[in-house]
Amino acid sequence: MSALRQALADYLSVRRILGYRLVRAEKLLAQFLTFVEERGEEHLTIEAAIAWATAPANADPSWQSRRLSDVRRFAMHLRGIDSATETPPANILPGGRSHRATPYLYSAKEISTLMATTTILRGSHRQATYRTLIGLLASTGMRIGEAISLDQQDFDPIDGLLTIRHGKFGKSRELPLHPSVVAALGAHLNRADRPRNAARAPAIFLSPRGTRLLYVNVQKTFQQLVRRVGIIPRSAKCRPRLHDLRHGFAVNTILDAYRDGNDPGARLAILSTYLGHINPAHTYWYLSASPELLKLAGDRLERRLGGEA
Protein backbone atom coordinates (compact mmCIF):
# COMPACT_ATOMS: atom_id res chain seq x y z
CA MET A 1 0.00 0.00 0.00
CA SER A 2 1.34 3.43 -0.98
CA ALA A 3 1.91 6.15 1.59
CA LEU A 4 -1.07 8.10 0.25
CA ARG A 5 -3.36 5.07 0.40
CA GLN A 6 -2.27 4.35 3.96
CA ALA A 7 -2.83 7.98 4.89
CA LEU A 8 -6.35 7.80 3.46
CA ALA A 9 -7.12 4.65 5.45
CA ASP A 10 -5.89 6.36 8.64
CA TYR A 11 -7.87 9.51 7.86
CA LEU A 12 -11.12 7.58 7.35
CA SER A 13 -10.52 5.56 10.50
CA VAL A 14 -9.97 8.65 12.65
CA ARG A 15 -13.04 10.48 11.35
CA ARG A 16 -15.25 7.42 11.73
CA ILE A 17 -14.25 7.18 15.36
CA LEU A 18 -15.69 10.70 15.65
CA GLY A 19 -19.00 9.46 14.23
CA TYR A 20 -18.72 10.31 10.51
CA ARG A 21 -19.79 7.63 8.03
CA LEU A 22 -17.94 8.96 4.98
CA VAL A 23 -19.38 6.48 2.50
CA ARG A 24 -19.32 8.99 -0.36
CA ALA A 25 -16.01 10.53 0.73
CA GLU A 26 -14.25 7.16 0.81
CA LYS A 27 -15.34 6.40 -2.76
CA LEU A 28 -14.42 9.84 -4.10
CA LEU A 29 -11.06 10.06 -2.34
CA ALA A 30 -10.07 6.61 -3.61
CA GLN A 31 -10.87 7.84 -7.14
CA PHE A 32 -8.85 10.97 -6.52
CA LEU A 33 -5.79 9.01 -5.38
CA THR A 34 -6.03 6.88 -8.52
CA PHE A 35 -5.98 10.13 -10.51
CA VAL A 36 -2.92 11.36 -8.58
CA GLU A 37 -1.12 8.05 -9.08
CA GLU A 38 -1.82 8.08 -12.81
CA ARG A 39 -0.18 11.51 -12.94
CA GLY A 40 2.90 9.97 -11.32
CA GLU A 41 2.69 12.29 -8.30
CA GLU A 42 3.50 11.39 -4.70
CA HIS A 43 2.10 14.49 -2.97
CA LEU A 44 -1.25 16.24 -3.16
CA THR A 45 -1.21 19.50 -5.08
CA ILE A 46 -3.82 22.20 -5.63
CA GLU A 47 -3.46 21.78 -9.37
CA ALA A 48 -4.22 18.05 -9.24
CA ALA A 49 -7.13 18.58 -6.85
CA ILE A 50 -8.80 21.15 -9.07
CA ALA A 51 -8.14 19.17 -12.26
CA TRP A 52 -9.80 16.09 -10.74
CA ALA A 53 -12.69 17.95 -9.10
CA THR A 54 -13.66 19.82 -12.28
CA ALA A 55 -13.72 16.76 -14.53
CA PRO A 56 -15.86 16.41 -16.50
CA ALA A 57 -16.00 20.09 -17.37
CA ASN A 58 -19.77 20.09 -17.92
CA ALA A 59 -20.57 18.69 -14.45
CA ASP A 60 -22.75 20.69 -12.09
CA PRO A 61 -20.63 23.32 -10.26
CA SER A 62 -22.04 22.30 -6.88
CA TRP A 63 -20.96 18.69 -7.51
CA GLN A 64 -17.47 19.81 -8.50
CA SER A 65 -17.28 21.87 -5.31
CA ARG A 66 -18.36 18.91 -3.17
CA ARG A 67 -15.64 16.76 -4.73
CA LEU A 68 -13.03 19.40 -4.02
CA SER A 69 -14.35 19.84 -0.48
CA ASP A 70 -13.70 16.16 0.28
CA VAL A 71 -10.17 16.48 -1.07
CA ARG A 72 -9.59 19.64 0.95
CA ARG A 73 -10.52 17.97 4.24
CA PHE A 74 -8.22 15.06 3.47
CA ALA A 75 -5.41 17.44 2.48
CA MET A 76 -5.75 19.33 5.76
CA HIS A 77 -5.30 16.03 7.60
CA LEU A 78 -2.43 14.95 5.35
CA ARG A 79 -0.52 18.22 5.74
CA GLY A 80 0.19 17.32 9.36
CA ILE A 81 2.02 14.25 8.08
CA ASP A 82 3.47 15.48 4.79
CA SER A 83 4.54 19.15 4.70
CA ALA A 84 4.68 18.99 0.88
CA THR A 85 0.89 18.64 0.76
CA GLU A 86 -0.95 21.60 -0.75
CA THR A 87 -4.41 22.41 0.60
CA PRO A 88 -6.97 23.83 -1.88
CA PRO A 89 -8.41 27.15 -0.64
CA ALA A 90 -12.03 27.18 0.47
CA ASN A 91 -14.60 28.42 -2.09
CA ILE A 92 -12.06 28.42 -4.93
CA LEU A 93 -14.78 26.99 -7.20
CA PRO A 94 -18.02 28.86 -7.94
CA GLY A 95 -20.17 26.05 -6.58
CA GLY A 96 -18.40 26.32 -3.24
CA ARG A 97 -20.45 29.33 -2.30
CA SER A 98 -23.68 28.71 -0.44
CA HIS A 99 -25.98 26.50 -2.52
CA ARG A 100 -28.37 25.27 0.13
CA ALA A 101 -31.83 24.70 -1.23
CA THR A 102 -34.70 26.78 0.09
CA PRO A 103 -36.97 24.41 2.05
CA TYR A 104 -40.40 23.71 0.64
CA LEU A 105 -42.74 23.98 3.63
CA TYR A 106 -45.68 21.66 3.00
CA SER A 107 -49.13 22.65 4.20
CA ALA A 108 -51.08 20.22 6.38
CA LYS A 109 -53.40 19.65 3.42
CA GLU A 110 -50.49 18.79 1.10
CA ILE A 111 -49.16 16.25 3.59
CA SER A 112 -52.58 14.66 4.00
CA THR A 113 -52.99 14.51 0.23
CA LEU A 114 -49.56 12.93 -0.24
CA MET A 115 -50.47 10.25 2.29
CA ALA A 116 -53.84 9.63 0.64
CA THR A 117 -52.25 9.45 -2.81
CA THR A 118 -50.20 6.39 -1.80
CA THR A 119 -53.17 4.42 -3.16
CA ILE A 120 -51.60 4.78 -6.63
CA LEU A 121 -48.75 2.50 -5.53
CA ARG A 122 -48.86 -1.20 -6.34
CA GLY A 123 -49.80 -3.45 -3.44
CA SER A 124 -51.66 -2.69 -0.21
CA HIS A 125 -48.56 -3.22 1.93
CA ARG A 126 -46.49 -0.80 -0.13
CA GLN A 127 -49.26 1.76 0.07
CA ALA A 128 -49.43 1.41 3.85
CA THR A 129 -45.65 1.56 4.16
CA TYR A 130 -45.32 4.89 2.40
CA ARG A 131 -48.43 6.33 4.02
CA THR A 132 -47.04 5.51 7.48
CA LEU A 133 -43.52 6.61 6.59
CA ILE A 134 -44.62 10.03 5.34
CA GLY A 135 -46.78 10.50 8.42
CA LEU A 136 -43.89 9.55 10.71
CA LEU A 137 -41.46 11.94 9.02
CA ALA A 138 -43.96 14.81 9.17
CA SER A 139 -44.83 14.21 12.83
CA THR A 140 -41.31 13.64 14.19
CA GLY A 141 -38.97 15.51 11.85
CA MET A 142 -36.55 12.59 11.81
CA ARG A 143 -34.18 12.13 8.90
CA ILE A 144 -35.24 9.68 6.20
CA GLY A 145 -32.07 7.65 6.78
CA GLU A 146 -33.00 7.33 10.45
CA ALA A 147 -36.55 6.24 9.62
CA ILE A 148 -35.58 3.45 7.23
CA SER A 149 -32.93 2.26 9.71
CA LEU A 150 -35.54 1.74 12.44
CA ASP A 151 -35.96 -1.79 13.73
CA GLN A 152 -39.02 -3.14 15.51
CA GLN A 153 -37.11 -3.25 18.80
CA ASP A 154 -36.62 0.54 18.51
CA PHE A 155 -40.36 1.09 18.94
CA ASP A 156 -41.76 1.08 22.48
CA PRO A 157 -45.57 1.28 22.21
CA ILE A 158 -46.02 1.14 26.00
CA ASP A 159 -44.02 4.27 26.77
CA GLY A 160 -44.65 5.81 23.33
CA LEU A 161 -40.98 6.10 22.36
CA LEU A 162 -38.81 5.59 19.31
CA THR A 163 -35.09 5.06 19.76
CA ILE A 164 -32.85 6.37 16.99
CA ARG A 165 -29.73 4.23 17.12
CA HIS A 166 -28.17 5.21 13.81
CA GLY A 167 -28.41 9.00 13.81
CA LYS A 168 -26.04 11.42 12.12
CA PHE A 169 -22.51 11.40 13.59
CA GLY A 170 -23.38 8.12 15.31
CA LYS A 171 -25.58 9.84 17.89
CA SER A 172 -28.51 8.02 19.50
CA ARG A 173 -31.62 9.62 20.97
CA GLU A 174 -35.15 8.83 22.13
CA LEU A 175 -38.20 10.47 20.57
CA PRO A 176 -41.45 10.74 22.54
CA LEU A 177 -44.36 10.14 20.16
CA HIS A 178 -47.88 11.52 19.96
CA PRO A 179 -50.47 8.81 20.77
CA SER A 180 -51.75 8.96 17.19
CA VAL A 181 -48.26 8.14 15.90
CA VAL A 182 -47.94 5.25 18.37
CA ALA A 183 -51.27 3.88 17.15
CA ALA A 184 -50.29 4.27 13.47
CA LEU A 185 -46.95 2.47 13.93
CA GLY A 186 -48.56 -0.30 15.94
CA ALA A 187 -51.23 -0.82 13.29
CA HIS A 188 -48.59 -0.86 10.56
CA LEU A 189 -46.54 -3.54 12.29
CA ASN A 190 -49.64 -5.71 12.81
CA ARG A 191 -50.92 -5.58 9.25
CA ALA A 192 -51.90 -8.94 7.84
CA ASP A 193 -50.32 -8.10 4.48
CA ARG A 194 -46.75 -7.68 5.76
CA PRO A 195 -44.33 -9.77 3.63
CA ARG A 196 -44.17 -13.46 4.49
CA ASN A 197 -40.58 -13.27 5.70
CA ALA A 198 -41.28 -10.19 7.85
CA ALA A 199 -40.85 -12.27 10.99
CA ARG A 200 -37.16 -12.64 10.14
CA ALA A 201 -36.70 -9.01 9.09
CA PRO A 202 -36.04 -6.55 11.94
CA ALA A 203 -36.91 -3.35 10.02
CA ILE A 204 -40.14 -1.47 10.71
CA PHE A 205 -40.46 -0.39 7.09
CA LEU A 206 -40.15 -3.22 4.57
CA SER A 207 -40.24 -3.50 0.81
CA PRO A 208 -42.72 -5.97 -0.74
CA ARG A 209 -39.83 -8.48 -0.80
CA GLY A 210 -39.41 -8.21 2.95
CA THR A 211 -36.16 -6.25 2.84
CA ARG A 212 -35.30 -2.88 4.37
CA LEU A 213 -36.26 0.10 2.23
CA LEU A 214 -33.50 1.69 0.15
CA TYR A 215 -32.96 5.43 0.33
CA VAL A 216 -32.89 5.89 -3.45
CA ASN A 217 -36.17 3.99 -3.91
CA VAL A 218 -37.90 5.99 -1.18
CA GLN A 219 -36.83 9.23 -2.85
CA LYS A 220 -38.12 8.08 -6.24
CA THR A 221 -41.44 6.98 -4.82
CA PHE A 222 -41.91 10.24 -2.93
CA GLN A 223 -41.28 12.27 -6.07
CA GLN A 224 -43.80 10.09 -7.89
CA LEU A 225 -46.38 11.04 -5.26
CA VAL A 226 -45.41 14.71 -5.45
CA ARG A 227 -45.97 14.75 -9.20
CA ARG A 228 -49.31 12.98 -8.91
CA VAL A 229 -50.52 15.43 -6.26
CA GLY A 230 -49.41 18.32 -8.46
CA ILE A 231 -47.05 20.00 -6.01
CA ILE A 232 -44.75 22.21 -8.06
CA PRO A 233 -41.53 24.09 -7.19
CA ARG A 234 -41.96 27.58 -5.80
CA SER A 235 -38.69 28.62 -7.45
CA ALA A 236 -35.54 27.09 -8.93
CA LYS A 237 -34.12 26.73 -5.40
CA CYS A 238 -37.35 25.78 -3.66
CA ARG A 239 -38.39 22.36 -4.87
CA PRO A 240 -40.49 19.84 -2.92
CA ARG A 241 -38.15 17.33 -1.31
CA LEU A 242 -38.67 14.52 1.16
CA HIS A 243 -36.21 16.17 3.56
CA ASP A 244 -38.47 19.24 3.70
CA LEU A 245 -40.88 17.31 5.93
CA ARG A 246 -38.17 17.70 8.57
CA HIS A 247 -38.00 21.45 7.98
CA GLY A 248 -41.77 21.69 8.29
CA PHE A 249 -41.78 19.87 11.62
CA ALA A 250 -39.15 22.25 12.99
CA VAL A 251 -40.99 25.36 11.83
CA ASN A 252 -44.38 24.18 13.13
CA THR A 253 -42.88 23.33 16.52
CA ILE A 254 -41.68 26.90 17.03
CA LEU A 255 -44.82 28.39 15.47
CA ASP A 256 -46.88 26.57 18.08
CA ALA A 257 -44.75 28.10 20.84
CA TYR A 258 -45.41 31.61 19.52
CA ARG A 259 -49.14 31.00 19.02
CA ASP A 260 -49.55 29.50 22.50
CA GLY A 261 -47.65 32.34 24.15
CA ASN A 262 -44.84 30.04 25.30
CA ASP A 263 -41.11 30.73 25.29
CA PRO A 264 -39.78 29.97 21.77
CA GLY A 265 -36.21 29.98 23.09
CA ALA A 266 -36.91 27.17 25.53
CA ARG A 267 -38.80 25.25 22.83
CA LEU A 268 -35.86 25.73 20.45
CA ALA A 269 -33.43 24.04 22.85
CA ILE A 270 -35.75 21.03 23.14
CA LEU A 271 -36.29 20.97 19.38
CA SER A 272 -32.55 20.96 18.68
CA THR A 273 -32.15 17.86 20.85
CA TYR A 274 -35.22 16.18 19.37
CA LEU A 275 -33.92 16.70 15.82
CA GLY A 276 -30.51 15.31 16.76
CA HIS A 277 -28.56 18.49 16.02
CA ILE A 278 -25.15 18.80 17.64
CA ASN A 279 -25.13 22.56 17.07
CA PRO A 280 -28.18 24.79 17.77
CA ALA A 281 -27.09 26.94 14.82
CA HIS A 282 -28.27 24.14 12.53
CA THR A 283 -31.73 24.36 14.08
CA TYR A 284 -31.80 28.14 13.59
CA TRP A 285 -31.15 27.63 9.88
CA TYR A 286 -34.09 25.24 9.66
CA LEU A 287 -36.34 28.03 10.90
CA SER A 288 -35.07 30.88 8.73
CA ALA A 289 -37.13 29.97 5.66
CA SER A 290 -40.58 30.60 7.16
CA PRO A 291 -42.03 34.09 6.55
CA GLU A 292 -44.81 33.39 9.06
CA LEU A 293 -42.31 32.46 11.77
CA LEU A 294 -40.14 35.49 11.08
CA LYS A 295 -43.23 37.74 11.26
CA LEU A 296 -44.29 36.30 14.63
CA ALA A 297 -40.76 36.79 15.96
CA GLY A 298 -40.75 40.35 14.66
CA ASP A 299 -44.16 41.10 16.20
CA ARG A 300 -43.02 39.81 19.59
CA LEU A 301 -39.86 41.90 19.40
CA GLU A 302 -41.87 45.02 18.55
CA ARG A 303 -44.18 44.45 21.52
CA ARG A 304 -41.24 44.00 23.82
CA LEU A 305 -39.51 47.12 22.57
CA GLY A 306 -42.77 49.03 22.84
CA GLY A 307 -43.18 47.94 26.43
CA GLU A 308 -39.63 49.03 27.30
CA ALA A 309 -40.26 52.42 25.75
User: Between residues 169 and 190, which one has the greater pLDDT?
Assistant: 190
Does the pLDDT at position 209 exceed 70?
yes
Tens digits of residue pLDDT in 30-87: 999 999 999 999 999 999 999 999 988 777 787 888 899 999 999 998 988 888 999 9
Give 86-143 pLDDT, tens digit per residue.
999 887 877 655 556 778 889 999 999 999 999 999 999 999 999 999 999 999 999 9
What pLDDT is attached to residue 309? 44
Beta bridge partners of residue 164, listed in sequence order: 173
Options 15, 21, 165, 243, the catalytic residue = 243
- Catalytic, out of 67, 77, 267, 277: 277
Catalytic residue among 15, 21, 166, 168: 168
Instruction: Establish whether 246 is a catalytic residue.
Output: yes
Tell me, yes or no, if 215 is annotated catalytic: no
The 10s digit of each residue's pLDDT in 237-280 is 788 999 999 988 988 888 877 777 777 777 788 888 888 877 66
pLDDT in the model for residue 300: 56
Catalytic: 194?
Answer: no
* pLDDT the model gives residue 275: 86
Measured CA to CA in angstroms, residue 105 lies from 40, 83, 133, 185 at distances of 50, 48, 18, 24
Higher pLDDT, 169 or 7: 7
Active-site residue, selected from the candidate residues 66, 125, 143, 188: 143
pLDDT at 118: 97
How far is 114 from 108, CA to CA, in rounded Å?
Answer: 10
Give the C-alpha separation, 167 to 175, whole Å: 12
- CA triplet 70, 74, 78: central angle to 5 degrees? 165
Q: Is 79 a catalytic residue?
A: no
Domain spanning 121-134+145-228, CATH class? mainly alpha
Q: What is the pLDDT of residue 298?
A: 58
Active site residue 286: yes
Query: Looking at 246, 247, 258, 267, which residue is catalytic?
Result: 246
pLDDT above 50: residue 13: yes
217-238 pLDDT tens trace:
999 999 999 999 999 988 877 8
The answer to whether 16 is a known catalytic residue is: no
Q: Are 76 and 69 in contact (CB under 8 A)?
A: no
**pLDDT at position 60, please?**
79
**Structure-derived torsion over alpha carbons of residues 189, 212, 26, 93, reported in degrees to the nearest 10:** -80
Between 48 and 199, name the one with better pLDDT. 48
Instruction: Check if the beta carbon of residue 66 is closer than 8 Å to that of residue 81.
Output: no
pLDDT digit string, tens, across residues 143-173: 999 999 999 999 999 999 999 987 776 678 9
Q: Identify whether the C-beta of residue 191 lies closer than 8 Å to the C-beta of residue 204.
A: no
Which one of the listed residues 11, 104, 130, 286 is annotated catalytic? 286
pLDDT at 178: 95
Question: For residues 240 and 135, what is the distance between their CA atoms, to the nearest angstrom?
Answer: 16
